[in-house]
A and B are shown apart, each in its own frame.
Chain A
Amino acid sequence: MSSAFKSLREMKMYRENFQTELIRIGIDSIPIVSLAAAFSGAVTTVQTAYQLVSPLIPPKIIGAVVVPSLTMELAAVVTGFILSGRVGARIAAELGTMRVSEQIDAIEAMGLNSVGFLIVPRVLAGIVMVPVLYITACLVGTFGGILAAELTGVVTAGEFLQGAREHFDNFGPYFGLIKAFVFGFLITAVSCYIGYYTHGGADGVGRSTTRAAVMSCVLILIADLVLAVLLL
């Protein structure tokens, strides 16, 4: 058996793991991310309307405020927080269980690279799928905002979109995408690391799970600020 053939076989397995993770991190998170984004959009719209209510300010400004808030901050951070709990905790629990039940040892004992087999596909899936979820969150969030605007009657959908278009900052979506990319890396990398180095039985798995969710959130907050300082 040539080693080139072996690594080909291995690549195939890594790819399969990657595809599984794309679904579990990305597709499976779409409903909850959409839900959170829709509500964020709606709440921001209602609150902006409340704060700006004045005959001197045209209501289309609401769209000009809500859409950049979503694209530059809310969509990315809300997605990140949800994935910290949903994906970060899951990854840490999964790898932690594999560690304490010697499944990681078993992978290594077969002569496979457990880091390549378990961690790389998850981190790659994270940096691919979090930006996708971010885009979803932007679209659904905007839709939630428009819906709230229409239902409460503060501004029509047309005015909302017109305001958003007139004050659209091209850098906004790029900035959000960069954030999403960084968050995707941070959540998966930190959760994999914590899970992979779990010790101490079921207790240890529990500790790792909590730690992964908390650490992911804290790192998102820090990265959010750092990126804002660096890029704006």
Chain B
Amino acid sequence: MGGSILGNRVLRKEDPKFLTEGGKYVDDLLDEPLLANALHVTYARSTVAHGKINSIDVSEASQMDGIVAIFTGADLDLQQVPSAFNPMATRTLLATDKVRYVGEPVVAIVSETRSQGEDALDAIIIDYDVLPALIDLEKAMASDLHLYEACGSNVVFDTMVLGLPDNTGEAYFADCEVVVKGRFMNQRVAPCPLEVRGAAASWGENGRLTQWLSTQHAQGAVAPIAAANGVEEALIHVKTPDVGGGFGAKIGAYPEELLLGPIAKRVGKPVRWRETRSESMVALGHGRAQLQYVTIGGNRSGKVTHYQLWAIQDSGAWVDMGTILAPFMTRPMSSGVYDIPNIECRTTSVVTNTTPIVAYRGAGRPEATAAIERAMDMFAAKIGMDPAEVRRINLIPKFLEPHTTVVGQTYDVGDYETSLNKALEVSDYAGWREKQKAARARGDVKQLGIGVSIYVEITGGVGNGEAAKVEILDNGHALIYTGTSPHGQGHATAWAMLASEQTGIPMEKIDLVWGDTDLVPVGTGTMGSRSLQQGGNAVFAVSAELVNKAKAVAARLLEANEADIVLDKDSAAFHVAGTPALTKTWSELAQAEKSVGGALSHSDVIGVTGATFPFGAHVAIVEVDTETGKVTHLRHFACDDAGRVLNPLLLEGQIHGGVAQGTAQALLEEVVYDTDGNPTTSNLMDYAFISAAELPSIDVIHMETPTPLNLLGAKGIGESGTIGSTPAVQSAVIDAVSHLGVDHIDMPTTPQRVWEAIVAAN
């Protein structure tokens, strides 16, 4: 043995369970004693997009079989809760006076079985004064009808309110030889975790509420749950079972979850709730939904000198996280990987009668990347230069000291040109261009398209560090307590590798505890690709401290000087330097500590000094059937630099999933509403969720530029694939038909849109 486990392709510890017995999700907690005889909660939801509630009649429903109770917002005495991001916008957790989107919860039904609750739905009669539905972003922005009257406008956030200047319009480009404009819709998508939302609540005799939640951040749910129940935070215990995906949409606690405690209290029994897929498609937050007005200017030799972006962010019907992604994520990243001397970026967030927008994989950075990358393509097309070449001309040169862009964002380290070179070389970009030329010359029905994107993004920007505790059990096994919250990423494996590296304890003897707020009271959860660089970093540092503590115990037992104690990681045992025969194992040390009333454990919150900025370059190759508009994604090359790699297998998993979701946005997925605000994509038949059959196998190109900002040199990888792939694939589709006169196709590039673009260009 010997040597470090770090950097190796270690198989996932959690997989045998998931592949054999399966995960245990909220809805699987059937033998949980605290949930014995739990009742089921079903929510009646608004069927209109915008309306005043005149009356709610539950009389018939309450007579139905198995119905225990039915609550309206008034019954639960719900108060107006202000948005964290704009306090003038307030709502009750069940709509009481007004509904603002189809799917908004209005009534809670408590029943003995789940199907009884669904049966009662049809019998609940809610009478509305229907108001015009504001679905179109720009119409909502201009409308005199306001979703939140107190806001006085449907604009609920604007960078101008932060004191930032407005964009100056065309005058900005007066000195440019070439100016290109675009209007891009970065469309609304649904996160679609395989496990929909679920929660359960049970009051104990001690007056404490135990709440199970399918969440990315248990600790963050404590305060809102305490507030919803009107109790102190100490009385709230949140537990996280296995979570089948979140993609950002499970960061915050939702009304349906927050109401379970109050409902359980009133019915005097524990309650559980699990939404259906159809509900999830309209009531779990959506992502993206940003309209972009872009202007780019520069000279004919390819230098971009001016860039202007107005990002109009759809907030949906609540001022949720989505509202602030444009100003605080898109705007700072508007410069992308480019050295552009003049940038203006205004963002405006607008409420509409649609499902609220929350953080979704990438959360504001994919939008920034898509805008600048599309603009670069259009600029390249205008001056007749290869799009990869135009990018190269404008890249920020390699920097290993912090670099600050003109929008004021400081990146840690970057070597964009190398990532571009690698992606072009491995993908045989030049070769594809030759093939494309030949196919065009032949006039083939099926044409090749090649798309390049280069991106930089922000990871680990959420939180200033993370809590970790490592505890040694009597048998020498280790338990890691982490404030991160895995839901597919592989923390059980990754954190075990880090602790094993420090302690020598084999990975199979290391288990992970997370998402239980009694056991892990401090934690920032898993979001924004922060886990390894903050949570993993903390596990690594705390494990090292624990080894120091163990050395002190070993010194006591071996009657030696602490400084002379060494840990032999191969045998996971301590001895005095020079006398390796006499050892103390982790188990012996743990027992010794226990015998004197202590415990062999260490816990700490390890700070980090800011976000990191992973980057990379993607090349997508597509084939477009020019008669039907159908796109086939042939190859995808992803060079993602996430700093030092802990486990390439986990890294590739994140890239594969990210590329799949990013490609899905480029080619397939879009949440659609009709003009009355009825969602028309609220199941997985109508919503074009991607499957493996629509994806090529993905070529991952490794590149490592470590960050100085944490012990591990690690940056985030959770969202990179999504950020890099979308513009590359969209660009490839447009490239395939650009010789026919097409200069832009909005996403998703559906067959009909591609066909229409070809027809229009003719």
* Chain B binds chain A: no
